[in-house]
Structure 1
């Protein structure tokens, strides 16, 4: 491979703190560092996401792919069939955009929309791995509101440990093979906000660790 660096496309939806962790790792400002790849593009599902500013500040090309503002713009909530078709087209177009960027790895770093088979199938055919950050342990709280649901379960005494993971993205939501798992104890004297802060602190470490592992696998595969 020589000095050629792998290309990462990062998908975001919000403030981009996990994106920032990746930017810092690529810049060599953190441990572990990402020395064998660059972030070639950032795609946001929202035009107002602060992560776009973080990417622009780092000189990374950005793109907005907005479901609500573009694909659902002229469709009422009652038109479920039309919205379903629009959502499918959203994923088809997202796959087309990502494939045109020719990444080696896709990292979902706070991407808040489910990636459907309309996206996953063409990306899989192109043999591009996708990893995702999910703020729950494997098999524990799939889907939305994972942090809140874990904290609530802890407050009820149902579980004493929660956490987060970086996992491979497959068609089953949040069910792909974990690459990195961070366990956190649940404390009954802790507010939801305090627990959420601990989760986010660990996310910034895990997103880099998971990306490093995925990149190493790619390098090994290409040798």
Structure 2
């Protein structure tokens, strides 16, 4: 199969980069519509930087310490533009991006959240899911907006909540779903099959399979 034109992606991390590895694995295929061109972290010791280096991917550390949020984001913005980045994937990036940065990259930033948004925004998700007694949770890849955990949904994966679940066991099951759905959502976005229309994402030829729920077209 012929190689496809690939979007250049920067993955922003602050830690070990579990979802980063899933994206790298998916992008190893020459037919995948995106390449991981840069892994950027605000933490020099982030484990994901070693994962990137091991895969031969360029890395960059931009420390947030002692900087105003706007100055920090401006430094990241300049680095991404200097490298010709097309899309940004947030993968455990523990900094809130400023509205100015998000607006400058409108519809070009993806984030994964460990719940079926718009339910359970914020932190301590799995504890709250168990405490509320819901039977299904999951994960969501969405287009980033200035508001936290908000924006048009690209893809979701559903995960059952078991009676004997702890936050740790549930987190592990949801993380496994993230590893499936994030590469799918990036592929849909990079290929142009996922398009933001108003407050929704419309996906061309969408399907639902193996617990992954992708927005239907139309």
The TM-score, its normalising length taken from structure 2, stands at 0.81
Greater RCO between the two (CA within 8 Å, min separation 6)?
Answer: 1
The residue that corresponds to 1:71 in the other structure is: 66
Query: Aligned with 1:182: secondary structure?
Result: strand
Which residue of structure 2 aligns with residue 79 of structure 1? none
Partners of 1:71 and 1:90 within 8 A in 2: no
Partners of 1:181 and 1:218 in 2: CA distance: 16
The counterpart of 2:184, out of the listed 206, 209, 212, is 209
Per the alignment, residue 5 of structure 1 pairs with 6
Deviation, structure 1 residue 3: 5.2
- Mark the structure with the bigger radius of gyration: 1
Distance in 1, Cα, partners of 2:118 & 2:152: 10
RMSD: 2.3
Q: Does 1:15 align with 2:12?
A: no
Deviates more, 1:3-12 or 1:199-208: 3-12
Alignment pair present for 1:89 and 2:64: no
CA distance in 2, matches of 1:196, 1:219: 27
Q: Unaligned stretches of 5+ in structure 1?
A: 73-85
Q: Which residue matches 1:108?
A: 90
- Pairwise mapping of residues 1-223 of structure 1 onto structure 2 (< 5 A)? 4-28=5-29, 35-67=32-64, 70-71=65-66, 86-124=68-106, 129-153=108-132, 157=133, 159-217=134-192
Question: What secondary structure sits across from 2:94 in the alignment?
Answer: coil
Between Structure 1 and Structure 2, the one with more helix by share is 1
More strand, by proportion: 2
Runs of 4+ in 1 over 3 A off after TM superposition: none
Structure 2 segments unaligned to the other structure (5+ residues): 196-218
CA deviations 1:40-95 (Å, max 9, x no partner) are 1011121111100000001111011222xx326xxxxxxxxxxxxx1222122222
